[in-house]
Amino acid sequence: MANNLYRFTHALKHTHRILIHNVRRGAFFPMNFKKNYSSALYISGNNAYKSFAYLSPYLDFDEKFGNLDKLQENLTSRGIDIDVIQLKEAWNFYLQMVADRYALEDHNTKLAQRLRSLQENTERTAEQEQEILKLRTQLNVVRQDLKTVKEVIWDLDEDVICRILKLPNELDPRTPVGESVILKSVGNVSDISEKNRKSHIEIGMNLDLLEYKNPLHYYLCNNAAWFELAVLAHAGRVFDENNMIRMVGTDFSRSLLVEASGLDHEDPMVAFMIENHNEVERGSPNRMHLVGGANLISFLALHTKQLINPKYLPLKYFATGRQYTPLPRDSPTCGLITACQASVVHTFVVVKDAKNEDYNMLFEELKEIVCKLYDDLCDHYRVVIRPISELQICEEMRVSFELWSPFMNRYIEIGHLSTYGDYFSKRLLIAYQTSTGRSFPAVISGTVLSVPRLLACLLEQNPDKFVIPSKISELIPSNDPITM
């Protein structure tokens, strides 16, 4: 047995020396071990001593790499430049290194057990004494190999896993490649002469409805303030009638959840970052962000690492409240349309399986509920499917609800509804129990209504006075005028 163990150890040692040498010199794929970017979602082993790993995402990319043509088409249509062949080779090499680590650990266990059994024998022969010496030598070699392999895997974690986690979600076959596809159009565009077209900022200030300084600093006044409250109340009434549960999310979130949603948690132009927070250590990748209680990230926070009883699925939630979104770099300011703080209505639905009929059925039902809400708010709107180039990496498909802006002479997205499949649940370990173990549910979510954007379009469609829809005016105190 000792000779067999020795030969096995020597073979593993030789194999790992070659692999580790090739990794160090970049023979398999280029690596950068001095990256400034640090993942908050996946904490590698060499960072575990300084960053708490709240979870480790479920990594099952074999299926994704099983169809390289489909993956490459997805990346190309989204405008993402990634060499999928190189990345697949890196992933396969990572899996091989992990498998070899397990083999070394198993071999280490067998050597230790054999050594222990010999040491327990008080009447050992000279041959057994010699075997003990060999076993100790082999254990030292295996443990040194284990240490080296672990360090290489940690380096691979920093490069391979972080790159793979940036891969986009699968695409829904209904998502168009080129232009948006109109699903529904209600009413007609308001006929306003070119000389009467005014910016909603100008109209709002003339009617004493708005004080605007910049996307971060504005105030709704008089009937515009009543309108904001009434729209949120009416939306709550509509969703309540359709048996959806009202939730109140947290305004603040960690980088872990920002990254899990497919965003760059280190980019302050993607999510507001709180500096010098007393609960976050300096240099930690898991910082605090201001996102707002009516936000996808807030809903994800409520479900992270949760095991859901399948009898309660589907879960159907909504929230009305604040949402905070930075103005992207190089984007022009467009008044309330690009406001960084907005009162919104956000929905979040958890479904058993993306391949189940309930998934598409619930999406269609939710879309119709939102359409009923828009029927009460405006005379003209349209529903469109966004093309691939306009999707976020976490989205499979995105349906937008648009109103016409006479001043900008184009349609503006007032809200949207997206399908995400199991993208979030695998990253955040949101699961439900099955007869054979656990499975990951699918998510449908979206900010279905942004009040500042709605107000902007309504003001531009009626430059001379602010006409509040009848369904909304019902919720405004009668002693306040509803037109100006």
At 443, list the tokens: 């998510």
Q: What is the pLDDT of residue 21?
A: 46
Q: What is the pLDDT of residue 147?
A: 87
CB 124 within 8 A of CB 118: yes
Q: In what order do the strands lie in the sheet with 245-246?
A: 181-186, 381-385, 397-405, 410-421, 442-450, 341-351, 315-324, 245-246
| Statement to judge: residues 251 and 303 lie in one domain | yes
| Statement to judge: residues 217 and 350 lie in one domain | yes
Beta-sheet strands, E only, within 146-298: 181-186, 210-214, 217-220, 245-246, 252-254, 272-273, 288-290
Residue-wise pLDDT tens digits, 268-309: 888 998 876 666 655 677 788 999 999 999 999 999 999 999
Residue type for position 138: Q
Give the total number of structural domains in the chain: 2
413: CATH:
3.30.930.10
| Statement to judge: residues 132 and 247 lie in one domain | no
Q: What is the pLDDT of residue 8?
A: 44
Helix (H) / strand (E) containing 405? strand 397-405
Residue 75 domain-assigned (yes or no): no
Show the domain range for 286. 181-474
Q: What's the CA gap between 331 and 338, in Å, rounded?
A: 9
What are the respective helix, strand and coil percentages of the chain, to the nearest 5?
A: 45, 20, 35
| Statement to judge: residues 186 and 267 lie in one domain | yes
Q: What is the DSSP string of 438-476?
A: EE--EEEEEEEEEHHHHHHHHHHHSTTS----HHHHTTS
| Statement to judge: residues 366 and 268 lie in one domain | yes
Q: What is the pLDDT of residue 42?
A: 82
Q: What is the pLDDT of residue 450?
A: 97
Q: What is the pLDDT of residue 22?
A: 46
Residue 214 domain-assigned (yes or no): yes
SS3 313: coil
| Statement to judge: residues 233 and 321 lie in one domain | yes
Q: What is the pLDDT of residue 358?
A: 86
Q: What is the pLDDT of residue 66?
A: 85
| Statement to judge: residues 366 and 390 lie in one domain | yes
Low-confidence ranges of the chain (pLDDT < 50): 1-2, 4-37, 480-484
Looking at the DSSP bridge assignments, the partners of residue 272 are: 290
Residue-wise pLDDT tens digits, 109-162: 998 888 888 888 877 788 888 888 888 888 898 888 888 888 888 888 878 888
Q: What is the pLDDT of residue 50?
A: 66
Q: What is the pLDDT of residue 328?
A: 83
- For the chain, what percent of residues have pLDDT higher than 70? 88
CB 309 within 8 A of CB 433: yes
Domain end position, chosen among 136, 166, 196: 166
Q: What's the CA gap between 352 and 439, in Å, rounded?
A: 8
| Statement to judge: residues 396 and 448 lie in one domain | yes
Residue-wise pLDDT tens digits, 90-105: 899 888 888 888 998 8
Residue 421 domain-assigned (yes or no): yes
| Statement to judge: residues 154 and 191 lie in one domain | no
Residue 435 domain-assigned (yes or no): yes
| Statement to judge: residues 89 and 222 lie in one domain | no
pTM of the shown model:
0.85
| Statement to judge: residues 90 and 195 lie in one domain | no
Residue 70 domain-assigned (yes or no): no
CB 210 within 8 A of CB 218: yes
| Statement to judge: residues 259 and 384 lie in one domain | yes
Q: What is the pLDDT of residue 29?
A: 41
Q: What's the CA gap between 482 and 475, in Å, rounded?
A: 11
Q: What is the pLDDT of residue 152?
A: 84
Residue 231 domain-assigned (yes or no): yes
> 432: exposed, middle or buried (C-beta count within 10 Å: 0-12, 13-18, 19+)?
buried
